[in-house]
Structure 1
Amino acid sequence: MGARREPPIKCPPANTPNSVAIYTSVGFRQLEATQYVDAVQKLNPDIVIGLADLVLGHTPGNKRRGKMVDRTHAFTTHATGLLYGNTVPENTRSKSAYFAPVLPLENAQQSIYMDDLETELRPFISGLALYESASLSAISEPLGDLPRLLYSAPATPHDILRDVSLGADLLTIPFMGVCSDAGIALDFTFPSPNTPTTITQPHDLAFDLWSPSHTIDTSALSNSCECYTCRNHHRAYIHHLLTAKEMLAWTLLQIHNHHVMDTFFAAIRESISRGTFEADTQTFQRTYVSELPKPTGQGPRLRGYQLPASGPNQPRRNARAYGKLDDAVEKFAESQSSLATPDTGAEGLEEHGFGMKEVS
């Protein structure tokens, strides 16, 4: 459970010492620290991501960095005290694992906060939430045994492998949903598919189902995949659904892409257990291209909460559904010009004997 989506949306309202700005289904709101703790106590999630005073969209100045540290420190102390503190009765203490945020700053800039995490707050935290890959190598030894959740927004599986090699235990993967919305099916295995050892041409990480080449292709998305989509449907069917803009297309793609990522992480864990992770990563890098394919089709229409706030002079995210009926206007004008229409008033018509003008 966290206060923000991933990737987070830049909010025009500023954070305050007692709240953070968030984007909700009813617009921008301030989430009070006390409200967040109340939600944790009611919902009882497995993992809680602590509130952090993050600056989104630009690099904070020195004075702002000081505020970030002070507020995040206060948020963490406040939440852990209410959830797990010594004054909380044993039977009412939260069972949720609290992941304390580590700000995307140098350790020297948040040294007091980090010292408290190592000492006074250490009994109350069960993990760390980090917001950039560079923070993974800066975790001190007293906190080294805690699981690390990384919000680095990796763009490819190669980025995931790099973050795992640096020490990440949990990651968020926004590109999986982005690919599904774009009609792109992931197609990779770790460390490599069962192919000859000599690789002349790297394999693609995914393929675009908007391509006309899939119009009559009745093969599964992946012959080795055991997901619901691959066992029950084929490429031509999903291509048809995308063309018809049926929501089922994106649902089936998301099922498949989730399964690919589940298998990918299971293989990573097995590789680490065998002690071959570094060699397997190098094999994966040689086997697959470095980037995912560029989207060519249009995803599902974005609405409301799905739309990040836009700034000035930015293009429309959704194509205009309706436009000016210029061609219809021209045709209407042509049809009107073919009718006999008088070019004079009532008096002129009377002179020509068309009718009598009534005078009251």
Structure 2
Amino acid sequence: MAAAQETVLQIDLNAMAHNYRFIRSLLKPETKLLAVVKAFGYGSDAAEVAKFLEELGADYLAVAYTNEGVALRNAGIETPILVLHPQPINFKEIIDRCLEPSLYSPRILRAFAKVAKDQNQKNYPVHIKFNTGLNRLGFWENDVDFIVEVLKPAPELKVKSIFSHLAASEDENEREFTLGQISNFKKIASEIKSKLGYEMMMHQLNSSGVLNYPEAQFDMVRCGISLYGYGNDPKFNKELKPVASLRSVISQIHMIEPNETVGYNRAYVSKGYEKTATIPIGHADGISRNFGNEKGFVIINNQKASIIGNVCMDMIMVNISGIDCKEGDEVIIFDKDHTAEDAANLIGTISYELLTMVSQRVKRTFLR
């Protein structure tokens, strides 16, 4: 891996292939794998990642919003794409671009059925989302009769899958609750299949669900964060390889005297003669201000350099006293050894947030 000469997010597709194959190794041969590529592919590059996952053999892709699915179609992606959180204003475009909507409420179901009928569709694939305890999106168990009432006389729609989402699949302390969700989902699935009179796919497991509840694979699983190298558990993290590495360079080095201040609001005061480095990455690039004032650090020549003062929009300053380095040297914000999860723990957040916060202005490079 070449040293960074500017701020860059390096995407290791070889690592993604490893993660994909590890996940597949946990699945039954007949279980389909849906790869989640929302939020620019968890902060990487949705189109490049989706193309690669398509090559690897992913059965489905999923995005949150319609425009994300449209961008993938524009990039030439042909794999079925599930839109997890569509809005009625997008329904015609969903049909035009052969995207498959999650229908999660009476309002959304009625609205999509009307658009599909107006567009003269027949058996258009839709996915029905049920709420089994996350209490975010989804029909309730007692909505089954309403759903059947709308769908039975509607030849324009065909249910491709029914699905739900686990609330705490990574938390062993919530195992009883999770098993209750799984049991409830089975009951709902049996009822709706019986009343509609045909089979459809079932899926409920997310990444942690795949790792912790293999008995609930059903017909398909939905994997997001695990494809990008994180398993929400040390025993699974060791089986996965982080895909994204965020790197930058030292722009300038300063020698400062005792009691000099660094950065906005003079937030850092030097304790003696110190050496600082300025790095071209800031909160506009995804480095939270919470990392400032020595809560976070970067790696320079295998040594930790604390972030000092307030994080600026386009820059951070770090203390390099005692570190042998020079202007132009590489700086690691996170990589496979100093992971996004490690960095996230410093400020009480999660790897998902750090990964997806990386700004689109940061250059992406790919290894494969």
Question: TM-score interval w.r.t. the shorter chain?
Answer: 0.3 to 0.5
Relative contact order (C-alpha < 8 Å, sep 6+): which is higher? Answer: 2
Judging by fraction of residues, say which structure has more helix: 1
Q: TM-score, normalised by structure 2?
A: 0.35
